[in-house]
Structure 1
Amino acid sequence: MIANKRITMYVLILMKENVSMGVFRRSDGNILELSRDELVAIFEAARGHPAQLLIRILWETGMQVREAVALTVGDVDTVHRKIRIVNTREACLRRGEHRSNGKRGKPERDIALPSVLYYPLCRAVHGRCTDEFLFFSRDPYCPFNARTIEILVRQLGRRLRIDGLTASAFRDTFILHNLRNGTSRAPLQRHLGFLNRQPFKRYESYLGRGTLNADQMALSLEMRA
């Protein structure tokens, strides 16, 4: 695994200038923002668990747990450095669910493979069949249950005394980091699979500012560090 010093802050789009992280706020309502030190501590606390890398992917990409557990080896394209996230219906079928609980389905999308995850993922997929699940406990053709990951994260939170830690905190932290550093909402929306920009409102409220400038200068997703 990557040493502590290699753990970096999940930057979706690298800005041309160094941008301040702004005033760090701990939590607000159902949003929980994690610090760099807390992320490192969580990663280390999960050492030895087969879902350790999965947990890191959650904060490095902003992916949802149910998307991460549905990933197969074939979804990781190390040549073009991208990760495929299948549509909601396909993800449900992969997880053994026969319906999506009435939720609006998300279309399939590709996201950039973060450079900090490149070698860990290369090792994770090396020599494996493309239809095997990327993360599993015993059987590579049987994925983790999303609830299992949620329970693990809560256990790590109690062990590290991080009040209210859930898997959604990783996504919250990823989104807030990008909004603070000037990432435009349009590419961020595509990356996260949001169907519209409504979900950003609660994060903007948390940051204490109004509507962000959708045209703010940022590099493309393909040029991330």
Structure 2
Amino acid sequence: MGRKRRGRNEGSIYRRKDGRWVGQIHLGYNEDGKPKRRYLYGRTRKEVAEKVISALAELNKGTYIPPHPLTVADWAEEWLKLKEPELRPKTLQLYRQELGLAIPELRGEGPGLGSMRLQEVKPLHIQATLHTLAQEGYVERTLRKVFILLKALFEEAVRLELLARNPLASLRPPRVSSKEEAPRKAGRTLEPSEVRALLEAAQGHPLELFFRLLLSTGLRKGEALGLKWKDVDFERGEIHVSRAWVKLGAGGLLSSPKTPRSRRAVPIPIDLLHPLRAHYEARVLAVGEEAAREEWVFPGEDGEDPVHPDYPNHALRRLCEKAGIPPVRVHDLRHTYGSLLLARGVPLEVVSERLGHASYEITLRVYRHVLEEERRGYVLTLAEMIGEEPSRPQA
């Protein structure tokens, strides 16, 4: 009678000559009939028996995943590549930086969490990593971002059956204090007198039209730098936003707009339309209409790429000094546009659409302080509301 083959869900435990205990699990047979085995090691028989029982339970439930040498750092690199088609380059760079806090191997340092095998990581390792970052002075908001990215990283490994379980599944994200959760202001709003002083100081500057554009339309810096003349519809008086020129490393990179709602048509005020048309017509005379339409509205020195993303920052700082006003960021010009619109009663949904926010809630959160000031003016007596007394002017 032939020798009985060991079943797929059976295992054995034995002791080696060196005293170490070994558990052997049979996983079936290869195509050539040779058995497939997994070996589990431990210092005692009880330790190995527990490992064998656990592995056999996984086999019975269909959740068993064969061991492999993939490290956390290797998987993080692969995961970032998988995310590349769906993320903007700047967002991808931010993901790498934030993951690099927990996985130092991503920034060329270590050894750390990244040197561990992916399948070896336990909740305790994640907790220890976050604790170390907290000890180094990173605030809870940063720790929370790292936690969310790590959870997504390991969850994708579970989905692709590289892991049986996410080690962060049982952990809670770091608590963010109420102080940190308070909405941060997007920036300061220039007073009308400051806007006038800035525009006066910018007269004749190579980026005069650029700064006027941001103050008149609320475009993001990258959206304005990414404009070509073909994106400007002079007949309809609209600018079509379809790309952005963002900083990446020491240079710039073309990217898709920040959110789906960022792809939008923005109306051009009449006082901006005339200088825009004059610049365009000058380029048409120089190179012809077909070539001019493909040119950048704000070209760099060689004309091949737009202006370097850092140039507007440096230029604005010097213009603020010239104008005698406190320094502002380029983004503050966009913030000024949104604040001035709301202060003049333009509906929230219109402002949100113009700015290309992902939702009205974002606009409300960013400009809540402006809206609260406006609301204070809407305090009417009952007699005024029912028309018995003329309404008073708003405060």
TM-score normalised over the length of structure 1? 0.70
In the alignment, is residue 70 of structure 1 matched against residue 226 of structure 2?
yes
State the SS of the aligned residue for 2:304. Answer: coil
Query: Is the alpha carbon distance of 1:119 and 1:76 closer, same or farther for their aligned partners in structure 2, counting shifts above 3 Å?
Result: same
**Alignment correspondent of 1:120:** 275
1:35, 1:191 → 2: CA distance? Answer: 21
CA contact (8 A) 1:86 1:108 kept: yes
- Larger helix share, 1 or 2: 2
Alignment deviations for residues 22-43 of structure 1 (CA, whole Å, 9 cap, x no partner): xxxxxx9653121222222212
1:98, 1:81 → 2: CA distance? Answer: 25
**Aligned pair partner of 1:177 in 340, 343, 348:** 340
Cα offset for 1:57?
Answer: 0.6
**Alignment correspondent of 1:203:** 367
Please list, as runs of the form range in 1=range in 2, the aligned pairs for 1:121-200 lying within 5 A after superposition. Answer: 121-126=276-281, 127=284, 128=289, 129-197=292-360, 198-200=362-364
- Larger Rg, first or second structure (1 or 2): 2
1:98, 1:179 → 2: CA distance? Answer: 31
Residue identity (%)? 24
**Alignment correspondent of 2:194:** 38
Output the amino acid matched with 1:208. E
Cα offset for 1:210?
Answer: 8.7
2:373, 2:194 → 1: CA distance? Answer: 26
CA contact (8 A) 1:72 1:130 kept: yes
Cα offset for 1:87?
Answer: 4.3
Alignment deviations for residues 65-117 of structure 1 (CA, whole Å, 9 cap, x no partner): 111111111111111111111145xx559x942667xx656542111111111
Gap regions ≥5 residues in structure 1: 1-27, 213-225
Cα offset for 1:130?
Answer: 0.8
Query: Is the alpha carbon distance of 1:110 and 1:54 closer, same or farther for their aligned partners in structure 2, counting shifts above 3 Å?
Result: same
Query: Is the alpha carbon distance of 1:175 and 1:42 closer, same or farther for their aligned partners in structure 2, counting shifts above 3 Å?
Result: same
Output the amino acid matched with 1:151. H
State the SS of the aligned residue for 2:239. Answer: strand
Cα offset for 1:144?
Answer: 0.9
CA contact (8 A) 1:50 1:136 kept: no
Query: Is the alpha carbon distance of 1:110 and 1:202 closer, same or farther for their aligned partners in structure 2, counting shifts above 3 Å?
Result: closer
2:299, 2:347 → 1: CA distance? Answer: 35
State the SS of the aligned residue for 1:121. Answer: helix
How many residues align? The count is 180
2:344, 2:367 → 1: CA distance? Answer: 13
1:106, 1:148 → 2: CA distance? Answer: 27
Output the amino acid matched with 1:111. V
CA contact (8 A) 1:87 1:106 kept: no
Query: Is the alpha carbon distance of 1:211 and 1:39 closer, same or farther for their aligned partners in structure 2, counting shifts above 3 Å?
Result: closer
Query: Is the alpha carbon distance of 1:82 and 1:99 closer, same or farther for their aligned partners in structure 2, counting shifts above 3 Å?
Result: closer
Cα offset for 1:168?
Answer: 1.8
Query: Is the alpha carbon distance of 1:207 and 1:191 closer, same or farther for their aligned partners in structure 2, counting shifts above 3 Å?
Result: closer
1:121, 1:98 → 2: CA distance? Answer: 22
Structure with more relative contact order (C-alpha pairs < 8 Å, separation 6 or more): 1
Cα offset for 1:202?
Answer: 3.2
1:58, 1:98 → 2: CA distance? Answer: 19
- Following TM superposition, the consecutive aligned residue runs of length 4 or more in structure 1 with deviations greater than 6 angstroms are none
TM-score normalised over the length of structure 2? 0.41
Cα offset for 1:64?
Answer: 1.2
CA contact (8 A) 1:87 1:109 kept: no
State the SS of the aligned residue for 2:303. Answer: coil
- Larger strand share, 1 or 2: 2
Q: CA RMSD in A?
A: 2.8
Cα offset for 1:164?
Answer: 3.2
